[in-house]
Amino acid sequence: MIASRFRRRVVVFGMLLLGLACPGLAQAQVEVVAGPIANPANDHEYFLLSAGDWHASEAAAVALGGHLVTIDDAAEQAWVFDTFGAWDGIHRSLWIGLHDSEWEGQFVWTDGAPRTFSNWLPGQPDNSPVTGGEHFVHMLNTGNEYGHPGGLWNDLASPNLAFPTFNPVCGVVEVPYPSRPTLAVTGTPTAMCWKTRPGARCRVEHRARWGTGDWTVWRVVTADANGRSCVEVTGGAGEEEGYFRVVVE
C-alpha cells in the first residue's frame, strides 16, 4: 500500500493483482511454473511454462499476452537460459519462438521480429530425418546425453518423441508490457499512474474501507499507445479515507 496526504485527507491506493488463469491458458494444457519475472535490460516480463509441445506453449504465451520468447541478442540469450534453464533445480530444454513450420529453412519469430541473433549448435538446424522433420527451436538442456552445451539452439520435432534426452521441453513466454500493473503516485496535483498493455480498458475502483463494502467504479480509462494510464486523484473520491484498485479488462 502507498499512503499519500492531499488537502489533509489520507488517501490510500491499492492494486488488484491480475490472476494468470484464463480460458486460453487452460485449453493449452500447460501451466505457468514461474513468473512474471522482469528482465532489467528491457523491462519485459517472462514466464516459464510446464512441459508441453511447441504449439501448446505458443498458445499459452498468446493467452498471457505475449509469445514464446524472441532472443534479440547475446545478453537476452544468457539471461533467459540462466534464469530458466535450471529453474528449481531441474535442467530443462526451453522452447523459443523461432520456427520454420510455414516454409522449410525460413526461420521466423512468432512475434514477427527480425532475426538479429542466433545461437545454433554447430551442424544445426538439420531438419533430422529421424523425426520426419524438425520445425521448432529449443535451447538445449544442460546434462543431455550427447554432451551438447546447454543453451545452444537445436531444431526439434514437436512433440519431442525421438530425443527423450532433451526432455522436459518447456516454453518461455515473453510479454512486452507488465502483466500485473505497478502503481505509482506522482505529481501535483496527485495522480495515480500505471502501465499495462497498450489500448487496455482499465477500471479504477474505490471503496471507503478496506475489507468492508463493495468496490464501485470510479473511473474508466484506456491505456495509451505505450500502455500508460493516469488519473488525477483528489482526496479519495470525496471520502475522508479510501482505497483504490485497478482492474485491467
Per-residue confidence band for 241, with pLDDT thresholds at 50, 70 and 90: low
Both 117 and 202 in one domain: the answer is no
Shared domain check, 144 and 93: yes
Same domain, 126 and 201: no
Confidence of residue 204 (pLDDT cuts 50, 70, 90): confident
- What pTM was computed for the model? 0.73
Residue 187: per-residue pLDDT: 65
Q: Are residues 131 and 64 in the same domain?
A: yes
Q: What is the distance between the alpha carbons of residues 67 and 45, in angstroms, rounded to a whole number?
A: 11
pLDDT tens string 191-200: 888 888 788 8
pLDDT tops 50 at residue 29: yes
Half-sphere exposure at residue 7, Cβ-oriented, CA atoms within 13 angstroms: 12
For residues 148 and 154, the answer to whether their CB atoms sit within 8 Å is yes
- The pLDDT tens digits for 72-123 are 999 999 999 999 999 999 999 999 999 999 999 999 999 999 999 999 999 9
170 and 184 share a domain? no
Can you give the residue range of the structural domain that contains 224? 2-18+180-248
Q: Of the residues 175, 202, 236, which one is the last residue of a structural domain?
A: 175
How much is the pLDDT for 19? Answer: 33
CATH code where residue 230 lies: 2.60.40
Instruction: Assess whether 117 and 149 both reside in one domain.
Output: yes
Contact of 173 with 25, CB cutoff 8 Å = no
CA neighbor of 168 nearest in space, from 116, 71, 91: 91
Task: Say if residue 86 is exposed, middle or buried (CB neighbours under 10 Å; 0-12, 13-18, 19+).
Answer: middle
Number of domains in the chain: 2
pLDDT band at residue 188 using 50, 70 and 90 as cut-offs:
low
Residue with C-alpha cell 504465451?
A: 61
Domain containing residue 83: CATH number? 3.10.100.10
Q: What is the DSSP letter of 212?
A: B
Residue 174's pLDDT is 96
Pair 97, 157 in one domain:
yes
Instruction: Out of 160, 175, 190, pick the residue that ends a domain.
Output: 175
Q: Which residue has the higher pLDDT, 224 or 107?
A: 107
Strand partners, 13: 2, 244
CA–CA distance, 86 with 157 (Å, rounded to integer):
22
Residue 161: pLDDT band (50, 70, 90) is very high
pLDDT of residue 176: 87
d(CA 236, CA 224): 24
Are 107 and 197 found together in one domain?
no
Query: Exposed, middle or buried by CB within 10 Å (0-12, 13-18, 19+), for 106?
Result: exposed
Mean confidence (pLDDT) of the chain = 83
pLDDT grade for 136, boundaries at 50, 70 and 90: very high
Residues 6+ apart with CB under 8 A from 8: none
* Residue finishing a domain among 148, 175, 202: 175
**Shared-domain flag, residues 131 and 54:** yes
166 and 138 in contact (C-beta within 8 Å)? yes
